[in-house]
Amino acid sequence: MNITTRFCRGPGKNRVCLPRALKASVRVFRISDYDAVLALWQGTKGVGLNESDTRPAIMAYLQRNPRLSLVAEADGQIVGAILCGHDGRRGYLHHLAVSKPHRRCGLGRRLVETCLANLRQAGIPKCNIFIFADNAEGMKFWARTGWRLRKELRLMQVQLGGPRRAVPARTC
């Protein structure tokens, strides 16, 4: 699928959209895109990477969630990416990133909307994202695109590999 967006610079109402159109294509994320996508993620503030973002881990994620994760290309370069998957009940978006020169022109929104449409087609009724509490720019983007903060929820996590901290058993 091809989309056309304008090349913009500057924040909010002060942004200047240059007259030339930038052709960007959105397509399925392939493992061959990994190096370019990893570089984009590494250069994007607010994207946290860990052991789940190695090439083998991303390959497994793409295989478990075929045709859901996307990249955006312009002039032969990866300029946007998003991981998208589901567990059969809820959808999840991870690591939305758009290169700085291509931000605030609808490309991030287009990546998200395409993912959400694909999740709807798969019968998934809701989608969740994880966002760092100090990612103000990200929070603004997600709020502008209709997402709401679930203040009644907290994220908890346990590491499944390696030693775990022993928790004393309680007796009743």
Phi first, then psi, for residue 166 (nearest 5°) are -70, 135
CATH number of 2-144: 3.40.630.30
Residue 26 reports pLDDT greater than 90: yes
What pTM was computed for the model? Answer: 0.82
**Mean pLDDT on 88-103:** 96
Contacts 24+ apart (CB under 8 A), 75-80: 77/36, 78/33, 78/36, 78/37, 78/40, 79/24, 79/40, 79/107, 80/24, 80/26, 80/40, 80/107, 80/108, 80/111
Q: What is the domain partition of the chain in residue ranges?
A: 2-144
Q: What is the pLDDT of residue 165?
A: 67
Residue 38 reports pLDDT greater than 70: yes
Alpha carbon distance 26, 79 (integer Å): 10
